[in-house]
Amino acid sequence: MVRLWTNRRHQRKKQRKNLCLIFGKGGKYTASQLINRANMYDQPEAYINLMKQDLKVLASELEKFIDD
């Protein structure tokens, strides 16, 4: 995911500065930068929730197999 966020070829100077702020040592954020950062964290959270759901289904299927 980080590669997706950082590998855009046609980034403007402001976008590069924002990426350095987010993925670098940090610094002072504007309100819109904080919103963008929060939105970026929502993406991995969604992927993790999907994986968790898949693991629950797998565990349920394995329990059925073991109980039989």
Distance (Å, rounded) from C-alpha 52 to C-alpha 61?
14
- Confidence check: pLDDT of 9 > 60: no
Sequence ranges of the domains in the chain: 2-67
pLDDT digits (tens, 9 = 90+) for 12-58: 677 778 888 888 888 899 999 899 889 988 999 999 999 999 999 99
pLDDT band at residue 4 using 50, 70 and 90 as cut-offs: low
Q: Do 8 and 15 touch, CB atoms closer than 8 A?
A: yes
pLDDT at residue 57 in the model: 96
CB 19: neighbour CB atoms within 10 A? 15
For residue 6, how many other CB atoms are within 10 A of its CB? 13
pTM for this prediction? 0.58
